């Protein structure tokens, strides 16, 4: 293990925010497991503690990076286990997947309401405000680097590509097998999140399908428009 001077290992607000985002991402997996009546993840206890207690003598970003990789791996497994547990036969796997997508949407809506209900109680978020909230949400992952690339922005419409989604963020090749399902779940989460901020916004998405080698063909993206 590489030792670092203590002043390099100081936990900053950005680290705490990243840790908080990881908790919200993991809550998605926990929700699927609970829905399928499966045993909770061991990560629940780790994420319930304070970030400071997880520190070793490596840098906070290294600790968080390793934790993030573990959460991704766990999420891929949680999806597979929950889908299989809910399906009564192989033909029902699609139905079970659709139910998990519904859970993902509801979880995004719960987090969106938790974070923003107070701010937009009197007046729903505008399209710009909803997108800004999304770029700072847990689904954007590590704070700082942009998670979205705006492709088109006019008064009533905004289109953006996802720069980090399960198709590109799964470093482990074995996880890429689940990238299509996980990305659909994350897009469902985003849809629920935006709905919590303004029910008058339409959220459409396109998901790149993983190719034979596991690499996504093109980028996934989202589109926000006003319903009226
Ligand atoms: Zn994707």
Q: How far is the CA of 69 from the centre of ligand 1 (A)?
A: 17
Helices assigned H by DSSP within the chain:
13-35, 43-48, 60-86, 93-116, 127-135, 166-169, 179-197
Q: How far is the CA of 42 from the centre of ligand 1 (A)?
A: 26
Q: How far is the CA of 37 from the centre of ligand 1 (A)?
A: 27
- The pLDDT of residue 54: 92
Question: For residue range 90-138, what is the model confidence (pLDDT) as tens digits?
Answer: 668 888 999 999 999 999 999 999 999 999 989 999 999 999 999 999 9
Question: For residue range 1-47, what is the model confidence (pLDDT) as tens digits?
Answer: 555 565 566 889 999 999 999 999 999 999 999 999 999 999 999 99
Question: For residue range 136-170, what is the model confidence (pLDDT) as tens digits?
Answer: 999 888 887 788 999 999 989 999 999 888 887 66
- Residues 6+ positions from 160 with CB-CB distance below 8 Å: 131, 148, 149, 150, 151, 221, 222, 223
Task: Spell out the domain ranges in the chain.
Answer: 6-226
Q: How far is the CA of 58 from the centre of ligand 1 (A)?
A: 31
- Backbone CA torsion sign across 14, 164, 22, 103: positive
- The pLDDT of residue 140: 84
Residue bearing the bigger pLDDT, 100 or 207: 100
Q: How far is the CA of 161 from the centre of ligand 1 (A)?
A: 9
Q: Quote the mean pLDDT of the chain.
A: 88
- The pLDDT of residue 146: 84
- The pLDDT of residue 226: 95
- The pLDDT of residue 166: 86
Q: Which residues surround ligand 1, an ion (CB under 5 A)?
A: 165, 167, 183, 220
Residue bearing the bigger pLDDT, 169 or 85: 85
Q: How far is the CA of 220 from the centre of ligand 1 (A)?
A: 5
- The pLDDT of residue 128: 94
Q: How far is the CA of 134 from the centre of ligand 1 (A)?
A: 16
Q: How far is the CA of 19 from the centre of ligand 1 (A)?
A: 22
User: pTM here?
Assistant: 0.90
Q: How far is the CA of 163 from the centre of ligand 1 (A)?
A: 9
- The pLDDT of residue 80: 93
Q: How far is the CA of 88 from the centre of ligand 1 (A)?
A: 28
Q: How far is the CA of 169 from the centre of ligand 1 (A)?
A: 9
Q: How far is the CA of 165 from the centre of ligand 1 (A)?
A: 5
- The pLDDT of residue 133: 94
- The pLDDT of residue 208: 81
Q: How far is the CA of 208 from the centre of ligand 1 (A)?
A: 6
- Backbone CA torsion sign across 109, 115, 117, 122: negative
- Are the CB atoms for 225 and 201 separated by under 8 Å? yes
- The pLDDT of residue 164: 85
């Amino acid at each position: 293990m590489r030792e670092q001077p203590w002043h390099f290992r100081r936990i900053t607000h950005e680290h705490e925010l990243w840790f908080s985002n990881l908790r919200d991402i993991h809550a998605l997996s926990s929700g699927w497991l609970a829905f399928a009546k499966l045993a909770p993840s061991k990560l629940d206890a780790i994420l319930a503690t304070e970030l400071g207690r997880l520190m070793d003598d490596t840098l906070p970003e290294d600790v968080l990076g390793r934790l993030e990789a573990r959460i991704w791996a766990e999420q891929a497994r949680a999806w597979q286990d929950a889908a299989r547990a809910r399906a009564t036969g192989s033909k029902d796997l699609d139905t079970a997947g659709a139910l998990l997508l519904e859970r993902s949407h509801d979880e995004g809506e719960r987090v969106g309401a938790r974070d923003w209900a107070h701010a937009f109680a009197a007046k729903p978020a505008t399209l710009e405000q909803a997108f800004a909230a999304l770029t700072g949400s847990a689904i954007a992952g590590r704070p700082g680097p942009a998670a979205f690339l705006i492709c088109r922005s006019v008064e009533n419409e905004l289109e953006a590509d996802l720069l980090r989604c399960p198709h590109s963020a799964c470093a482990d090749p074995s996880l890429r097998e689940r990238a299509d399902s996980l990305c659909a779940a994350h897009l469902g989460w985003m849809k629920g999140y935006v709905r919590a901020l303004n029910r008058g916004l339409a959220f459409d998405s396109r998901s790149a399908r993983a190719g034979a080698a596991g690499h996504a063909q093109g980028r996934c993206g989202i589109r926000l428009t006003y319903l009226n």
